[in-house]
Each structure stands twice: as structure tokens, then as C-alpha cells.
Amino acid sequence: MDQELKKPGKADRTRAAILAAAQQLFAGQGYELTTVRDIAAIADIDPAMVIRYFGSKDELFARAAVFNLKLPDLSKAERSEIGETLVRHFLSLWEGENANGAMPILLRSAASNKTAANKLREIFMGQVLPALTHAGGRSGAAERAGLVSSQLLGLALCRYVLKLPPVVGLSQDMIIREVGRTIQRYATGEQ
């Protein structure tokens, strides 16, 4: 289970506590408003430990904001179901059991933190764009990826960050159906 082996000594537990507290706060109020002292208070340790274990606030943020889209192989999916497949994938990634909340973390801080903004750019340029290239051919892949990104990130922004009531209230089924159709058209040009 563990990656660095050894018994789960005391150090590892406080390390994990710090990371959990950091993720909670970064996701809730973004990078700038989250202080090392707040993180330490929630993790119930000394602020100095945060620095000792992670080097700096910046490095801690980088650790707290790692995540992978793990996009499914769209070339194997039914072509007519690419949209719904993608939306379903993102929804389960964002609010499924294994969701680690990294998306809100990035989205909340991307507006003012360059590390977060770059990470978001990398994710969508490096994963969404190639996936769509495979799915719909090379021509216009950039445009299609841009449109897809705008809809998916907009959904995440309204639902998890701004928490616009009408968007929060949307059922997963409705999102999959309606947004899925949009993504389908953007991705394939059909309809």
C-alpha cells in the first residue's frame, strides 16, 4: 500500500495530516487566503512542522494539487457516446468516491497562482487535446479541445467554486444528458 515502505511511523502520520489539512483549506479558499498557520492549526501541529515536512508553502501546494485525469481511451468508445462518456468520467472524478478534490484546489487558485494555472493548462493541453485528437481526427482538434474545455471547466467552476445554486442543483443524470450532448457535438462535429 505505502509507496516509500517502512512502518507507518509517526512522521508519516503527521505528514498525512498536514497534507489533508492543506487540501481542505486550499480547496475551500484558495492559495492566497490559506496560511501555513491555519493549516498547522487544523492538523494540530506546530506551524514550523509544515515547513520542515514540505519545504515551503509553494511545495506543499504542489503536492496537494497533483492529480491525473486518467481519461478513458476514446478511440475505443462508441463514437456516438463520446460526449456522455467524457462527462460521466469527469463527474465521477470530481464527486465520486475516490475524488480527492484536486480539481477545486486548482480551479480556486488558478486565477491568482501561476503554479495552479500552469498545471491546469498542462492538464488540458496534455490530456484533453490528445484524447480528442484520437477521437475525432487531427483537423480542428485544437478548436474542439478548446470548446470542450470551456464547457467542462465552466461546469466545474459554477458547481464547485462559485456554487451557483442552479448549477449545484443539477442532477448528475441531467448533466450527463445535457452537457454530454454538447461535448459530443464539440468533440465530433456531429449533429
Partner DNA sequence: TGCATTTGTCAACACTTGTTGACATTATGC
Partner DNA sequence: GCATAATGTCAACAAGTGTTGACAAATGCA
**Of residues 115 and 127, the one with the C-beta less far from DNA:** 115
CA 76 centroid distance within chain: 24
CA 73 centroid distance within chain: 19
Q: Kindly state the smallest distance separating residue 154's Cβ from DNA, in Å.
A: 29
Candidates 102, 100, 72; CA nearest to 87 is: 72
Contact string (CB under 7 A) for DNA, positions 55-94, x = contact? -xxx------------------------------------
Contact string (CB under 8 A) for a second copy, positions 109-148, x = contact? xxxx----x--xx--xx---x------------xx-xxx-
Return the residue of 52, 79, 121, 177 that touches DNA, per CB under 7 A.
Answer: 52
Return the residue of 22, 27, 50, 179 that touches DNA, per CB under 7 A.
Answer: 50
CA–CA separation, 52 vs 46, rounded Å?
Answer: 10
C-alpha cell, 35: 496560511
CA–CA separation, 186 vs 191, rounded Å?
Answer: 10
How many Å from the N-terminal Cα to the C-terminal Cα in the chain?
A: 46
Residues that bind DNA (CB under 7 A): 9-11, 14, 34-38, 45-52, 56-58
